[in-house]
């Protein structure tokens, strides 16, 4: 007898609906538990970073400080000398800015794109003070003949757009010329591409060095009985727990020319007293200190993979006729690759964004991209460029993070 | 050592093993395995049987004594030169290699030519009925299939000897029984020498030519399965192999190969004197539950005592009957569920009897 | 490590070389920490062992840099004792509240994330862990602008919020890891015995995940306690902490007082490490006893 399946009804409601409702409620409960942290991270972390990165294309200064000039410049086609209206707007805006005390900021912004623009604009404060009527063009050219040059106005037009690719172009050693073409920076200003390459190179070297140094000890720890391996693990964890600044201080003490290592070598007669080796405040210093600091990040993931490789597999290999070397290369090494991947990616990601150690022990040659970002944030105050460099760095790091998630899985990240 | 006339293929000569320098895990082991034999080491966990296997394989070093394989002492031969195939408890298949690569591995390290390797892998897979699985990885196989691959891998390079360390422990009961027969048949077909370790006595009895029972680092008895069951040398073996009724009794007199012993409640029983001391010493009388007859004909048996039925458990082919007799209440009798069998009732008093030959007086437990 | 009897000469040499390499790596790992401790007792204002120290002459050792740090010695400028004491107070204050905030938010979120019904689990997890991965300089720059705009820059609250943000990933990771081994049937058992969900949370879930919570909290604490870049961008003299004091000391003129502070910090981290290790063993015991 064929029966049509009737929906099950309990207390006047279909069971299916009730089950779905209960499931939904559980979902809300779970989400509600996560929500406070999610909001906290969004507000204190994600949004600040997002809005900072926006500065890499945002160009609000001219629009807010010289609104008439910006409006007139956007009308101008940029081919021939601009019309009288542009000159009039320039004089009026500069006068207003001078009264409001913001002329210096306009000057600084234009100066990023045109050497000498600062003095040109600041000078106008005095020159334009008594100008009340046109023709403004003649007045300006009389004040400084650079106002009669097409390039000056092209630069002004360039810096007055609301969104600009210039910071990103600068971050890869390019610039816009007066006609809006992308050109290379003059060779003495081409530093960022080189710096990015050096940053990646340092990160790669640190990753390789930590792998070379970390693999043997991870192997040793994973093959020892618990009593010894616990002790060895603590020797790896202690540096991990020790303050970064303390460890960097130690490396300064050890490596500087009047430091412990040089003294030791002089005492042993390896080098003469005036032949002391410069081991710090250069690339080498950054490499040594970063390798030591990041070594635990390499050892711990490798160890946690290695200890899961069963002894019986290695014994099986030997019983099948493979000597310890073949067993290592054909069984142990391939089985430990997930650990190498996890540790390597982690070390690489962390070292790409390293800041403190290079700043303290890197000298000029051991600086990384983070140090340049800090420089533009704190000293040159070229925040747009800092944001552009930061965006490029962050995109790189996020790609690596995504890769780490694919290869290892972020929920498998372990601490100690 | 009646078989010592034939040259032993594997022998342990007075082998001792200690991990901590104080306690011996294996005590003065003497054991010979013949060529082509299926020898099982049976014993409870911690009895030293796996240690013996690992010493044979070369992963543990004997503290003293020699281990001989095919005429040579192998104490100083590293594992990879011993030519011994091993099936591990957890299979130890290489998860990063396919079945094909797992099987090819021992031949690759021996530099066998590619075409030979392919032939032999194919043959080995056929032997364990896994044709067509060569491209899979161990993770894609069921437990039973992994087990077969492990067996094939231990055999594919034609080793001098195959060791199996509780290889069926991880399988469910039905699969385990099936694999027991398969391994047994492979052994019979190839004629390879096998040393097998297990704690499961049924498995040991099913598969082996001879079984070596271990306890506390000492060999208790080495014998064929039927002898082990029917003629245990001591109380441990009797207890460990199969089910067993035991009485603690005092030896009264010894007549040739028989003896008379008295249990604490006063009944005197006659038994075969296997392993007893002088008169008035304690002994354990051992009796298989299926060798006991309930309500026997008068004069049929020398040993007849009366007991009270305490519990009846229906088990299909037989009825497991628990009796109280001679002062103990866990005397088990297996009553065949035959057509003519008389139904017992709980609380009923019955006579039970058995042959002298079925009751063995062993060492006091 | 004992070698089996059959090991040949090549194997023995390899093994010895391997052990030697491992020793060198361990020295490389530990030396920086070990060297700084005796040097902090140097009687002279040098950063190297004086001949007198190597002779173990008691005259060559002194507590003068510790006295400086504690404000009893004759230190000058930035190394005057009360500067360090002030920085230490700030460090502890900021780290304490940042840890409290990070632990509360992180634990709750981790328990939620471990529910099977949690929607968008992966992307949310990725976002919550990201403060661990994003370079600190980018975080600092972003927070600098944002916190200035909303008036949180140069305040203790701003620094606490910033430190809590970078501390939460540790709590989320450690608590989620404890929850992975959590036996869901315990929750059902508790419910079947008559406990309401909230009671179950405090009486069953919390005690079992406490080791994870505490070790996450310790990570968050040490992260805040050791943090320098965010402070450098977000704080001024009022929020000066020990790391920023060391940082400026290292960038200008390195004084031996820094070695004394470093030694004190090493002692501090040893204590924390021991605490975490004990916790780890405890939770392992709990877990294994639950299985058997």
Map out the domains of chain C as residue ranges: 84-291
**What pLDDT does C83 receive?**
79
Q: Considering the domain boundaries, does residue B79 fall inside one?
A: yes
Determine contact: A308 vs chain B, CB below 8 A.
no
**What pLDDT does C166 receive?**
94
| pLDDT band with cut points at 50, 70 and 90 for residue B138 | very high
Nearest Cα to B49, choosing from B190, B201, B228? B201
- Residues of chain C with C-beta less than 8 angstroms from the C-beta of A37: 105-106, 108-109, 128, 168, 172
**What pLDDT does C291 receive?**
43
What's the gap in Å between the CA of B139 and the closest CA on chain A? 14
Mean pLDDT over B331-354 rounds to 80
**What pLDDT does C79 receive?**
52
Q: Considering the domain boundaries, does residue B3 fall inside one?
A: no
Pairwise CA distance, residues C203 & A179, whole Å: 72
Residue A394's closest chain C neighbor by CA? C134
Q: How many CB pairs under 8 A join A and B?
A: 67
Spell out the SS3 assignment of B123-152: HHHHHCCCCCCCCCCHHHCCHHHHHHHHHH
Point out the residue among A310, A321, A334 whose CB comes nearest to the CB of B109.
Answer: A321
Nearest Cα to B103, choosing from B88, B129, B124, B87? B124
| pLDDT band with cut points at 50, 70 and 90 for residue B3 | very low
What's the gap in Å between the CA of A76 and the closest CA on chain C? 34
Please say if the pLDDT value at position C289 is more than 60: no
Point out the residue among A32, A37, A250 whose CB comes nearest to the CB of C33.
Answer: A250
Domain shared by B230 and B249, yes or no: no
Q: Under the phi-then-psi rule, with left for phi > 0, alpha for psi from -120 to 50, and beta for the rest, what region is A409? A: left
- Residues of chain C with C-beta less than 8 angstroms from the C-beta of B61: 4-5
Domain shared by B83 and B36, yes or no: yes
Please say if the pLDDT value at position C118 is more than 70: yes
CATH of the domain at B95: 3.40.50.300
Pairing of the two strands B84-87 and B161-165: parallel
- Residues of chain A with C-beta less than 8 angstroms from the C-beta of B77: none
Domain shared by B73 and B125, yes or no: yes
User: Residue A65 to residues A60, A68, A129, A156, B327: CA-CA distances in angstroms?
Assistant: 8, 9, 18, 13, 111
Contact B157 A320 (CB under 8 A): yes
Which of B76, B81, B84 to mutate against chain C (most C CBs within 10 Å)? B76
Q: Considering the domain boundaries, does residue B15 fall inside one?
A: yes
Contact C228 A242 (CB under 8 A): no
What ipTM, to 2 d.p.?
0.87
Domain shared by B92 and B33, yes or no: yes
Three-state secondary-structure class, residue A299: helix
Name which residue leads in pLDDT, B48 or C46.
B48
Using the Cα atoms of residue A89, residue A90, residue A93 and residue A95 in order, give the sign of their dihedral: negative
Percent composition of chain B: helix, strand, coil (DSSP 3-state, to 5): 25, 35, 40
What's the gap in Å between the CA of C226 and the closest CA on chain A? 6
Domain shared by B113 and B145, yes or no: yes
Domain shared by B189 and B332, yes or no: no
What's the gap in Å between the CA of A409 and the closest CA on chain B? 19
Q: Considering the domain boundaries, does residue B349 fall inside one?
A: yes
Residue with tokens 């006339």: B5
Angle in degrees, 0-180, between the axes of helices C81-113 and C121-129, rounded to the nearest 10? 170
What's the gap in Å between the CA of B56 and the closest CA on chain C? 13
Q: Considering the domain boundaries, does residue B5 fall inside one?
A: no
Please say if the pLDDT value at position B154 is more than 90: yes
Please say if the pLDDT value at position C28 is more than 90: yes
Domain shared by B211 and B334, yes or no: no
**What pLDDT does B184 receive?**
92
For chain B, the domain total comes to 2
CATH of the domain at B271: 2.40.50.140
Pairwise CA distance, residues A102 & A130, whole Å: 19
Pairwise CA distance, residues B32 & B10, whole Å: 6
Domain shared by B186 and B40, yes or no: yes
Three-state secondary-structure class, residue C236: coil
Domain shared by B231 and B247, yes or no: no
Which of B202, B235, B268 finishes a domain?
Answer: B235
Which of A380-389, B29-38, C191-200 has the least mean pLDDT?
A: C191-200
What's the gap in Å between the CA of B74 and the closest CA on chain C? 10
Residue C60 phi, psi dihedral angles, 5° rounding? -80, -10
- Residues of chain A with C-beta less than 8 angstroms from the C-beta of C11: 324
Q: Under the phi-then-psi rule, with left for phi > 0, alpha for psi from -120 to 50, and beta for the rest, what region is C119? A: beta
The string over B25-63, giving b where at least 16 C-beta atoms fall within 10 Å of a residue's C-beta and e elsewhere, is bbbebebbbbeebbbbbbbeeebbbbbbbbbbbbbbebe
Domain shared by B61 and B169, yes or no: yes
Domain shared by B230 and B250, yes or no: no
Domain shared by B148 and B251, yes or no: no
Mean pLDDT over B177-183 rounds to 90
Asked if B343 and B261 touch (Cβ cutoff 8 Å), the reply is: no
Nearest Cα to B17, choosing from B44, B54, B43, B42? B54
Determine contact: A79 vs chain B, CB below 8 A.
no
Task: Give tens-digit pLDDT for A27-72.
Answer: 888 899 999 999 999 999 999 999 988 888 888 888 888 888 888 8
What's the gap in Å between the CA of C276 and the closest CA on chain A? 9
Which of B122-136, B216-230, B339-353, C166-180 has the least mean pLDDT?
A: B339-353
Domain membership of residue B319 as a residue range? 243-362
- Residues of chain B with C-beta less than 8 angstroms from the C-beta of A323: 78, 80, 109
**What pLDDT does A381 receive?**
85
The low-confidence residues of chain A, meaning pLDDT below 50, are 1
- Residues of chain C with C-beta less than 8 angstroms from the C-beta of A250: 31-33, 35-36, 262
Please say if the pLDDT value at position C34 is more than 80: yes
Q: Which chains touch A (3 or more CB pairs under 8 A)?
A: B, C
Q: Considering the domain boundaries, does residue B26 fall inside one?
A: yes
Determine contact: C9 vs chain B, CB below 8 A.
no
Contact A323 B58 (CB under 8 A): no
Residue B57's closest chain A neighbor by CA? A319
Q: Considering the domain boundaries, does residue B64 fall inside one?
A: yes
Tokens standing for residue A349: 């990601």
Which of C6, C17, C29, C118 to mutate against chain A (most A CBs within 10 Å)? C29
Name which residue leads in pLDDT, C4 or A281.
A281
**What pLDDT does C292 receive?**
36
Q: Is the peptide bond before A135 cis (omega within 30 degrees of 0)?
A: yes
Q: Considering the domain boundaries, does residue B251 fall inside one?
A: yes
Asked if C163 and C147 touch (Cβ cutoff 8 Å), the reply is: no
Point out the residue among B59, B94, B153 whose CB comes nearest to the CB of A331.
Answer: B94
**What pLDDT does A178 receive?**
65
In CATH terms, the fold of domain C84-291 is: MetI-like fold (1.10.3720)
**Those residues with Cβ within 8 angstroms of residue C114's Cβ, 6 or more apart along the chain or in another chain:** C176, C179, C180, C182
Contact B88 A312 (CB under 8 A): yes
Determine contact: A414 vs chain C, CB below 8 A.
yes
The alpha carbon of residue A84 and the mean position of all alpha carbons in its chain are separated, in whole angstroms, by 45
Name which residue leads in pLDDT, A74 or B225.
B225
Percent composition of chain A: helix, strand, coil (DSSP 3-state, to 5): 75, 5, 25
Residue A335's closest chain B neighbor by CA? B96
**What pLDDT does B341 receive?**
58
Residue B76's closest chain C neighbor by CA? C6
Q: How many CB pairs under 8 A join A and C?
A: 279
Task: Give tens-digit pLDDT for C233-254.
Answer: 998 888 889 898 888 888 777 7
Residue with tokens 């990165």: A53
Asked if B210 and B229 touch (Cβ cutoff 8 Å), the reply is: no
What's the gap in Å between the CA of B334 and the closest CA on chain A? 43
**What pLDDT does C1 receive?**
46
């Amino acid at each position: 007898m064929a029966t049509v399946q009737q929906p099950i009804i309990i207390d006047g409601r279909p069971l299916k609906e009730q089950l779905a409702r209960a499931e939904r409620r559980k979902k809300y409960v779970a989400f509600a538990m996560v929500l406070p942290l999610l909001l906290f991270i969004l507000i204190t972390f994600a949004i600040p970073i997002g809005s900072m990165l926006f500065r890499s294309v945002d160009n609000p200064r001219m629009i807010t400080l010289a609104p008439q000039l910006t409006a007139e410049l956007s009308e101008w086609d940029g081919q021939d000398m601009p019309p009288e209206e542009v000159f009039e707007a320039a004089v009026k805006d500069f006068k207003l800015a001078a009264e409001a005390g913001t002329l210096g900021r306009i000057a600084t912004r234009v100066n990023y794109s045109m050497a000498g623009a600062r003095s040109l604009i600041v000078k106008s404060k005095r020159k334009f003070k008594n100008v009340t009527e046109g023709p403004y063009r003649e007045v300006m050219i009389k004040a400084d003949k650079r106002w009669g040059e097409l390039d000056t106005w092209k630069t002004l037009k360039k810096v007055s757009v609301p969104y600009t690719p210039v910071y990103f172009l600068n971050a890869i050693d390019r610039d816009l010329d007066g006609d809006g073409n992308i050109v290379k920076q003059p060779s003495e200003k081409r530093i960022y591409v080189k710096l990015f390459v050096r940053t990646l190179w340092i990160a790669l070297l640190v990753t390789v060095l930590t792998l070379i140094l970390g693999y043997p000890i991870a192997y040793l720890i994973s093959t020892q009985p618990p009593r010894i391996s616990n002790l060895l693990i603590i020797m790896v964890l202690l540096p991990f727990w020790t303050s970064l600044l303390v460890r960097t201080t130690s490396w300064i003490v050890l490596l500087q020319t009047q430091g412990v290592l040089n003294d030791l070598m002089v005492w042993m007669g390896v080098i003469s007293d005036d032949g002391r080796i410069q081991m710090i405040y250069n690339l080498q210093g950054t490499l040594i200190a970063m390798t030591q600091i990041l070594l635990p990040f390499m050892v711990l993931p490798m160890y946690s993979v290695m200890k899961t490789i069963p002894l019986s597999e290695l014994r099986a290999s030997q019983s099948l006729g493979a000597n310890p070397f073949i067993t290592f290369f054909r069984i142990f090494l391939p089985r430990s690759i997930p650990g190498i991947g996890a540790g390597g990616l982690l070390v690489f990601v962390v070292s790409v964004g390293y800041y403190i150690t290079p700043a303290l022990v890197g000298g000029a040659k051991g600086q990384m991209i983070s140090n340049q970002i800090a420089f533009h944030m704190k000293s040159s105050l070229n925040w747009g460029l800092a944001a552009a460099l930061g965006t490029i760095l962050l995109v790189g790091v996020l790609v690596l993070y995504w890769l780490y998630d694919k290869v290892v899985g972020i929920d498998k990240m372990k601490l100690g | 050592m009646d078989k010592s006339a034939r040259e032993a293929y594997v022998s342990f000569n007075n082998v001792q093993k200690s991990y901590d320098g104080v306690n011996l895990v294996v005590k003065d082991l003497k054991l010979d395995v013949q060529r082509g034999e299926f020898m099982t080491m049976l014993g409870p966990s911690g009895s030293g049987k796996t240690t013996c296997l690992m010493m044979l394989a070369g992963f543990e070093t004997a503290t003293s004594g020699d281990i001989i394989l095919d005429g040579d002492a192998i104490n100083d031969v590293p594992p990879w030169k011993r030519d011994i195939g091993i099936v591990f408890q957890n299979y130890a298949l290489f998860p990063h290699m396919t079945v094909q690569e797992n099987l090819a591995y021992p031949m690759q390290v021996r530099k066998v030519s590619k075409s030979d390797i392919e032939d032999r892998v194919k043959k080995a897979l056929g032997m364990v009925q896994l044709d067509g699985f060569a491209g899979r990885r161990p993770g894609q196989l069921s437990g039973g299939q992994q087990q077969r691959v492990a067996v094939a891998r231990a055999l594919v390079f034609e080793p001098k000897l195959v060791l199996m360390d509780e290889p069926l422990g991880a399988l469910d009961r039905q699969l385990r029984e099936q694999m027991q027969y398969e391994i047994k048949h492979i052994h019979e077909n190839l004629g390879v020498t096998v040393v097998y370790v297990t704690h499961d006595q049924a498995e040991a009895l099913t598969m082996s030519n001879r079984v070596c029972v271990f306890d506390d680092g000492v060999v208790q008895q080495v014998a064929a399965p039927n002898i082990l069951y029917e003629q245990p040398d001591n109380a441990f073996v009797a207890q460990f192999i199969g089910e067993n009724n035991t009485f603690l009794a005092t030896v009264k007199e010894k007549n040739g190969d028989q003896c008379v012993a008295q249990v604490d409640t006063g009944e005197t029983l006659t038994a075969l004197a296997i392993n007893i001391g002088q008169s008035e010493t304690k002994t354990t009388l051992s009796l298989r539950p299926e060798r006991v007859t309930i309500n026997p004909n008068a004069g049929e048996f020398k040993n007849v005592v009366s007991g009270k039925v305490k519990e009846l458990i229906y088990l299909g082919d037989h009825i497991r009957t628990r009796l109280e007799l001679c002062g103990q209440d866990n005397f088990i009798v297996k009553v065949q569920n035959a057509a003519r069998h008389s139904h017992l009732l709980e609380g009923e008093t019955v006579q039970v009897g058995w042959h002298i030959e079925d009751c063995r007086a062993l060492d006091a437990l | 490590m004992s070698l089996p009897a059959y090991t040949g000469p090549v194997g023995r040499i390899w093994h010895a070389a391997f052990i030697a390499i491992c020793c060198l790596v361990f020295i490389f790992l530990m030396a920086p920490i070990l060297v700084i401790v005796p040097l902090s007792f140097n009687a002279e204002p040098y950063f190297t062992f004086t001949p007198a120290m190597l002779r173990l002459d008691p005259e060559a050792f002194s507590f003068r840099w510790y006295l400086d740090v504690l404000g009893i010695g004759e230190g000058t400028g930035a190394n005057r004792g009360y500067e360090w004491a002030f920085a230490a107070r700030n460090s502890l204050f900021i780290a304490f509240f940042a840890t409290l905030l990070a632990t509360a938010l992180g634990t709750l979120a981790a328990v939620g994330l471990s529910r099977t019904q949690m929607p968008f689990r992966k992307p949310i997890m990725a976002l919550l862990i990201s403060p661990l991965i994003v370079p600190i300089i980018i975080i600092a720059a972003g927070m600098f602008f944002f916190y200035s705009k909303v008036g949180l820059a140069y305040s203790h609250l701003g620094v606490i919020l910033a430190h809590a943000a970078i501390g939460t990933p540790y709590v989320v990771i450690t608590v989620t890891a404890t929850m992975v081994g959590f036996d869901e049937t315990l929750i059902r058992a508790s419910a079947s015995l008559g406990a309401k969900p909230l009671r179950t949370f405090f009486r069953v879930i919390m005690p079992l995940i406490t080791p994870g919570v505490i070790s996450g909290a310790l990570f968050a604490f040490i992260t805040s306690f050791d943090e320098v870049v965010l402070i450098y961008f977000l704080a001024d003299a009022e929020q000066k902490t020990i790391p920023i004091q060391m940082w400026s000391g290292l960038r200008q003129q390195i004084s031996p007082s820094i070695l004394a502070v470093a030694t004190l910090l090493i002692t501090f981290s040893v204590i924390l490490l021991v605490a975490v290790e004990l916790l780890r063993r405890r939770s392992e015991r709990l877990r294994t006893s639950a299985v058997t």
